[in-house]
Structure 1
């Protein structure tokens, strides 16, 4: 059985928690921040947990898990 390829974008953008949930950074925080409100920037700080329906797809793209 050959090794499975991991999508390199998934390696960079997601982490799997100990309970199996997928963490991700919030989009819209790189540039053009002057057009966003302070509340938007503050609330999107840090990471959040991916929706349960999207989790199987990400785990399929990262067959051996993520560190």
Structure 2
């Protein structure tokens, strides 16, 4: 049976946490057209987020297929 391959698109967008059960992501809407966005909004967009639940399991399996 062939080896399972890492999904490269998901691997570039998410990082699996140390426990291996959740995934971190960066916030969207911070690339351009920033003049109309408030400073508070841009400041909060600097922080990423954590993916939980079934979505996290799907991401972890796609990024680390050997686990």
TM range (shorter): 0.7 to 0.9
State the TM-score, normalizing by the size of structure 1.
0.78
Q: Give unpaired runs (5+ residues) of structure 1.
A: none
CA contact under 8 A between 2:22 and 2:57: conserved in structure 1?
A: no
State the TM-score, normalizing by the size of structure 2.
0.78
Q: After the TM superposition, which parts of structure 1 deviate over 3 Å for at least 4 consecutive aligned residues?
A: none
Query: What secondary structure, in the 3-state scheme, does the structure 2 residue paired with 1:23 have?
Result: strand
Report the Cα distance in structure 1 between the residues aligned to 2:60 and 2:23, rounded to whole angstroms: 8
Q: Give unpaired runs (5+ residues) of structure 2.
A: none
**Count of equivalent residues:** 65
